[in-house]
Amino acid sequence: MSNNVPSEVKVNAIAANLKALHALLAVAATRSAEAHQLIQSGECNGAIGTILELDRILDDAKALYGAAIALHRLRII
CA distances from 57 to 23, 26, 63, 76 (A): 10, 10, 10, 30
pLDDT in tens, the chain (77 residues): 455 558 889 999 999 999 999 999 999 999 999 999 999 999 999 999 999 999 999 999 999 999 999 999 888 75
> What's residue 49's pLDDT?
97
Q: Looking at residue 52, what is its pLDDT?
A: 96
Half-sphere exposure in the Cβ direction for 35 (13 Å, CA): 15
The predicted pLDDT at position 21 comes to 98
pTM recorded for the entire structure: 0.86
Q: Is 5 exposed, middle or buried (0-12, 13-18, 19+ CB in 10 A)?
A: exposed
The Cβ of residue 64 has, within 10 Å, a number of other Cβ atoms equal to 20
